[in-house]
Amino acid sequence: QKEVEQDPGPLSVPEGAIVSLNCTYSNSAFQYFMWYRQYSRKGPELLMYTYSSGNKEDGRFTAQVDKSSKYISLFIRDSQPSDSATYLCAMSATRSGANSKLTFGKGITLSVRP
């Protein structure tokens, strides 16, 4: 079993839809959770990060963590064509993403249709 599993894609939605992206993990040592966005032929860009269970909101994006179920989600409201990218969940066994190994899901490619 992989340490991090991410819902397979690709995912195609109409503009304005609410998007839900999900990852599960098996390693209970993970305590820091991140979402990266990667546009085609670019490096991953940090989108959101959190270390506590619950919701964290930033504009149209909400990151949700449920440590008891080992489940994290990213919600995108009012999706835009510019949100079309690959989304990667990442996790760390320390309380920081800066100084330690990140373990990634495989990523899911999202396409938002105008």
Partner 1 sequence: SAVISQKPSRDICQRGTSLTIQCQVDSQVTMMFWYRQQPGQSLTLIATANQGSEATYESGFVIDKFPISRPNLTFSTLTVSNMSPEDSSIYLCSVGGGRFNEQFFGPGTRLTVL
Q: How far is the CB of 64 from partner 1 (least distance, A)?
A: 19
**Sign of the four-CA dihedral 69, 84, 101, 105:** positive
User: Other CB atoms closer than 10 Å to residue 48's CB: what's the count?
Assistant: 17
Cβ closer to partner 1: 30 or 105? 105
Query: Site size for partner 1, by CB under 8 A?
Result: 24
Using the minimum distance from each CB to partner 1, give the nearer residue, 49 or 61: 49
Considering the complex, state which of residue 33 and residue 79 has its C-beta at the smaller distance from partner 1.
33
> Rule CB under 8 A: which of 20-39 touch partner 1?
34, 36
In the chain, DSSP finds a helix count (H) and a strand count (E) of: 0, 11
Closest among 84, 64, 101, 85 to 15, alpha carbons compared: 84
Which residues between 34 and 93 bind partner 1 (CB under 8 A)?
34, 36, 41-46, 49, 88, 90
54-58 and 108-113 strand pairing: unpaired
Binding residues vs partner 1 (CB under 8 A): 2, 4, 34, 36, 41-46, 49, 88, 90, 96-99, 101-107
